[in-house]
Amino acid sequence: MEELQIVGQRIPKIDALDKVTGRAKYIQDLKLPGMLYGKILYSKYAHAQIVHIDTSKAEKLTGVRAVLTGDQIPALKFGFYKDNTALKAGKVRSYRDEVAAVAAVDPEIAQEALNLIEVTYNPLPAVFDPEEAMQKEAPLIHEGHKTNVLKIPWKLISGDVEEARSQSDFVAQDRFKVTWVTHCCMGTSGCIADFDLRNNLTMYSTTQIPSLAQKDYLEFLKGMGLNDSRVRIVQTSIGGGFGSKLDTYAFEYLAILLSHKTRQPVRIVFDRKEEFFATSTRQPAVIDISQGCTKDGKLTFRDISMILDNGAYTSWGATTPSVMMMPISSLYKVPNVRYTAKCVYTNNTYSQAMRGYGNPQATFAIESQIDMLAEQAGIDPFEFRLINSNQPGEVTPQRLKITTCGMKECLESVARELHWKEKRGQGKKRGLGMASLIHVGGGARVYKSDGCGTMIKMDDFGRVDVFTGATEIGQGSDTVITQIVAEELGLRPSDVNIINNDTDVCPWDVGVHASRTTFVAGNSARGAARKIKEQILGFAAQELDALVGELTLQDRMVFVKENPERSLPLEKILRKAHYSNQGKMIMADYFYDPVNENLDREFKGNMSMTYAYGAHGVEVEVDEETGKVKILNYVAAHDVGRAINPMLLEGQVYGGITMGVGYALTEQLILHKGEVMNPNFRDYKMLTCKDRVPIKAIVVETDDPDGPFGAKGIGEPGCVPTAPAIANAIYDAIGIRIKDLPITPEKIVAALKQKKT
């Protein structure tokens, strides 16, 4: 691999200084002059007609500036399936339905006003189980649709599954279930909407999709009759994303409506309870899966049908099957694949993207069952995985083109590190388990563009301003882009200034999702930096009387490679270019859109430029009396292409795994008849520092030819194979296979009791 100066270094995160000193400003910290505080009244029922809303008392309350109900706002639909409205008119379909909104001079008055709003409901029969919701007699959630099943026919077929099944020596068939979990961003959701006198909107926001949100809001403003309005999105420091901010939401539209009505800035910030019950979860699913293999352990087919609980409205959760197709079709070499998924409306909360975007759910089923199938075939599950491992050059049944692939190396390093051969299968309440992953590592073409723009300008002193579309949610894109630009331009990281939070000055980007930012924004930044470098070397060639090809740019100097004495400080070149007749500022822009494909009508296509691979292994100890699982040792090997910043990369792996361990063992948003029963940190079991999992992160570098300096994405992979690795280890320890998440002590004790009888 290329010798590099800045890329590959453990450079501290750029914004860490502001964050450790309390100077970073989050949406909660922002106040504008004259700002009002908005609050939302939610439904008291899972499904009910709204008979009447009396807001008169609330309106009369001193300090209240606006009260809105569903009948008073334009009937504008938003969301992936255009089935959601900012305030619900006519009926509510879930407990998180927004019924009224208030803006007042302080948050306590706004709250008091909510208490004064009287809503009369006529409760309707509700349905909370997607399989029940598919029955003919089930209550209809949306009358406009004739059925609760969404018209999104997820279906991927490659080869002949039935034929392969009949030819298989071993077949496993199981049902797995995954439930609601939620992002738990430490900073709750919020925004401030502010109109100027020309009806231009500035939205102070924590969105992960500034450019797409801008488009959503523009459409909404048009619907409000504001055809000529501009929308500017300014992102504050964002207190965590993990996918939760990948869509636009009712609360944002309500801030817009309230601000427009009052002509004052309006801030809506969720409290923790709202954050738990009124933000979107990871997509729950019922997964029927069968896989087969030959006597010598070669996978013959994979057949999956899924039912997704869509909840009452549709956000990106309903599109997670598009990403589930990737592991289903392409995790290991599997020649015949069939996958269908149905999204079904219920009166539950609705789902969204959450770290892995469907992949953790699908991988839990696939990788749990791989162990079961390997056992049937009498093959060690590690060997089984090696036999079926993906390889460079493969084209998978979904037409994914595998370029670099470190899967084998990942599997082998995990087995080595865990002493797999010696320790597995010993029982004695201790067990080893492993699971692999494939994820998009080179962008993901889910939207029409998968691009990101960068503009760079240099000042007269050798410093560089980088305007990037990439959003910073804590993952470290600010630092990675700094390193890439500094590397390319021979600068120090401190010479680079990143501007990444304002749609008025930053170019377009599809958003921070799909582990794409290092790859796409990184390539974009590198492209712009290369253009800057060309210009600099062009000027320098004249000054040094040399050919461009003879020059190099390093340590803020341009010099002739063969004769380093002949050199010029970068700042001199810049000033020379600027302060001459018909002078020139050194500026460049670059838009990088990866050469990946949208899925076609058969849901096939190479959606990513490259794929991230990894394998996780875990050693657990199970207390058979209490059912408690202790993680003794966790090893995660990831093919990351190249680590631009190993320290930040490890942070992504540690964080992803810890979230994955929660998914496997402790976390569950408990819904009872549509109502969230545990909207707090006490009963939503996110792991604490005391639960810290001992993790060894192994970086496998495959130097991807398409990645910036060889890098692939790493944001999500850490939480993809965690749950099945743990489930497999538990099986190795005590012979119990739990097929629904989370794997609670109750489930283990119950299963052990059943086994004994």
The reply to whether 187 sits near another protein by the rule CB under 8 A is: yes
CB-based contacts of 438, cutoff 8 Å, min separation 6: 326, 327, 330, 331, 390, 407, 611, 612, 613
Choose the stretch contacting another protein; rule: CB under 8 A; options: 301-309, 501-509, 557-565, 683-691: 683-691
CB of 207 to another protein, least distance (A): 14
Member of 351, 479, 503, 524 binding another protein (CB under 8 A): 479
The reply to whether 19 sits near another protein by the rule CB under 8 A is: yes
Sheet holding 557-560, edge to edge: 551-554, 557-560, 563-569
Task: Find tokens 């060889």 and name the residue.
Answer: 710
**If you write DSSP's letter for every residue of 167-186 in order, what string do you get?**
H-SEEEEEEEEE-------S
Nearer to another protein, 95 or 220 (CB): 95
Member of 184, 286, 528, 607 binding another protein (CB under 8 A): 184
Nearest 5°: CA angle at 489, between 488 and 493? 90
CB of 21 to another protein, least distance (A): 6
Which amino acid does the sequence have at 206? T
The reply to whether 274 sits near another protein by the rule CB under 8 A is: no
Sheet holding 64-69, edge to edge: 64-69, 98-104, 36-42, 266-269, 190-195, 201-205, 231-235
Nearer to another protein, 403 or 477 (CB): 477
CB of 481 to another protein, least distance (A): 13
In degrees and rounded to multiples of 5, residue 621 shows phi and psi of -125, 130
Task: Find tokens 């060309």 and name the residue.
Answer: 534
Choose the stretch contacting another protein; rule: CB under 8 A; options: 68-76, 84-92, 183-191, 446-454: 183-191
The reply to whether 1 sits near another protein by the rule CB under 8 A is: no
Choose the stretch contacting another protein; rule: CB under 8 A; options: 22-30, 83-91, 122-130, 505-513: 22-30
CB of 405 to another protein, least distance (A): 26
CB of 501 to another protein, least distance (A): 14
**If you write DSSP's letter for every residue of 479-529 in order, what string do you get?**
HHHHHHHHHHHT--GGGEEEE-SBTTTS--B--S-TT-IIIIIHHHHHHHH
Site for another protein in 645-674 (CB under 8 A): 647-648, 650-651, 654-659, 666, 670
The reply to whether 239 sits near another protein by the rule CB under 8 A is: yes
Q: Are 42 and 101 in contact (CB under 8 A)?
A: no
The reply to whether 241 sits near another protein by the rule CB under 8 A is: yes
Draw the binding track, 613-652, toward another protein (x: CB under 8 A; -: no contact).
Answer: ------------xx--------------------xx-xx-
| Ramachandran bin of 395, using left for φ above 0, alpha for ψ from -120 to 50, beta for the remaining angles | beta
Nearer to another protein, 37 or 78 (CB): 37
Residue 426's DSSP bridge partners are: none
The reply to whether 490 sits near another protein by the rule CB under 8 A is: no
Nearer to another protein, 457 or 685 (CB): 685
CB of 690 to another protein, least distance (A): 4
The reply to whether 687 sits near another protein by the rule CB under 8 A is: yes
Site for another protein in 365-404 (CB under 8 A): none
Tokens of 517: 């930012």
CB of 691 to another protein, least distance (A): 5
In degrees and rounded to multiples of 5, residue 35 shows phi and psi of -70, 140
Q: Are 86 and 72 in contact (CB under 8 A)?
A: no
The reply to whether 746 sits near another protein by the rule CB under 8 A is: yes
Nearer to another protein, 561 or 681 (CB): 681
